[in-house]
C-alpha cells in the first residue's frame, strides 16, 4: 500500500482541519450541523457529503449512531499532534481524543499501561487488585502521556464516542478545567464525565440525553478527581 498522503480538495482540507481543531480544542469532533454552520453550508447534508468523501479517501472514519461519529484515522495522528505543538491548544486543556487503536509496531517506543477494571471503594485506583492486565500501545496515540487505561462502563458519554467496554486512556491529575472529560470517584463509583465548575459546586455532565448531570457540592467528602481522559481505544479493535 502506498504511503503517499491522500490528495484532498481545498474544501475537503478545510473540513479536515476543522475536525482537527475541534478535537484539539474540546476533545470531541464536531457535529455535521456545526461543520455546516462554521463553513456556511445551507444544510448538514452538504457537510455529510464532504465527510463521506474524506472517509473514502481514508483520512477519517464515520461511525453511525452518534452525532459526533467522526474519527481521525491513524495516519492523521501525527498531523494532530504537530498542530498541538504549534500552539493550537494545550494538550492538557483538552478532553478525550477518540482515535483508532494501532497495534504495536517493531522498533517503535511502546507504553506499557495497566488496565483498571472494577474499583473497590476506598482503595487507590491503581491498586494491584484493580489491574486486570497490561497493554503495550504507541505513545503517539495520545494527546498527553497516560498513566493507565480504564474500562468504560455504560453509555453516558456515547455522544462523544465513548462507549461501553472501550478503554479510556487516563492521565492522573487532581485538577481540571471546565469542558475537560475527566475520571472522577464518587464514593464507590468511578465515572467518566465532562467537568464543569459552577458557583454551586462541580457538575459532572454526561454526553447522552438519557442521563442526568451529577452535582458535587463543595463540602462533599466522597468526591475525588482521578484524572483526565487523553485518548480512547475502541473496544471492538481489541477482540
| C-alpha cell at position 206 | 454526561
Catalytic residue list contains 153 = no
Q: Are 110 and 137 in contact (CB under 8 A)?
A: yes
User: Which DSSP string do the residues of 51-82 spell out, in sequence order?
Assistant: HHHHHHTTSEEE-TTSTT-EEE-GGGHHHHHH
Antiparallel, parallel or unpaired: β 181-186 and 111-116: unpaired
The Cα angle at residue 115 between residues 102 and 236, in degrees rounded to 5: 45
Q: Which of 73, 156, 158, 217 is catalytic?
A: 156
Question: Is the distance from CB of 192 to CB of 181 less than 8 angstroms?
Answer: yes
The secondary structure element, H or E, covering residue 150 is strand 148-151
2 is catalytic: no
The answer to whether 216 touches 223, Cβ cutoff 8 Å, is yes
Which residues contact residue 132 at a Cβ distance below 8 angstroms, ignoring those fewer than 6 apart?
115, 116, 117, 151
Active-site position among 158, 193, 212, 217? 193
C-alpha cell at 179: 469542558
Give the catalytic positions in this structure: 156, 193
Amino acid at each position: 500500500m502506498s504511503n503517499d498522503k491522500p490528495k484532498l480538495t481545498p474544501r475537503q482540507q478545510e473540513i479536515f482541519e476543522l475536525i482537527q481543531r475541534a478535537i484539539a480544542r474540546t476533545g470531541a469532533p464536531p457535529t455535521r450541523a456545526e461543520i455546516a454552520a462554521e463553513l456556511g453550508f445551507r444544510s448538514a447534508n452538504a457537510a455529510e457529503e464532504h465527510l463521506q468523501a474524506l472517509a473514502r479517501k481514508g483520512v477519517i472514519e464515520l461511525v453511525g449512531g452518534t452525532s459526533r461519529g467522526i474519527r481521525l484515522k491513524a495516519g492523521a495522528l501525527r498531523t494532530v499532534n504537530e498542530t498541538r505543538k504549534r500552539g493550537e491548544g494545550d494538550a492538557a486543556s483538552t478532553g478525550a481524543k477518540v482515535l483508532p487503536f494501532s497495534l504495536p509496531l517493531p522498533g517503535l517506543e511502546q507504553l506499557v499501561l495497566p488496565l483498571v477494571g472494577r474499583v473497590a471503594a476506598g482503595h487507590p485506583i491503581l491498586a494491584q487488585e484493580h489491574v486486570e492486565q497490561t497493554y503495550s500501545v504507541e505513545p503517539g496515540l495520545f494527546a498527553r502521556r497516560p498513566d493507565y487505561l480504564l474500562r468504560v462502563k455504560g453509555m453516558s458519554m456515547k455522544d462523544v464516542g465513548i462507549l461501553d467496554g472501550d478503554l479510556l486512556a487516563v492521565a492522573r491529575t487532581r485538577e481540571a478545567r471546565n469542558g475537560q472529560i475527566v475520571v472522577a470517584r464518587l464514593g464507590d463509583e468511578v465515572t467518566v464525565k465532562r467537568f464543569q465548575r459552577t458557583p454551586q459546586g462541580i457538575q459532572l455532565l454526561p454526553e447522552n440525553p438519557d442521563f442526568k448531570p451529577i452535582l458535587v457540592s463543595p463540602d462533599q467528602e466522597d468526591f475525588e478527581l482521578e484524572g483526565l481522559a487523553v485518548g480512547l481505544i475502541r473496544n471492538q479493535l481489541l477482540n
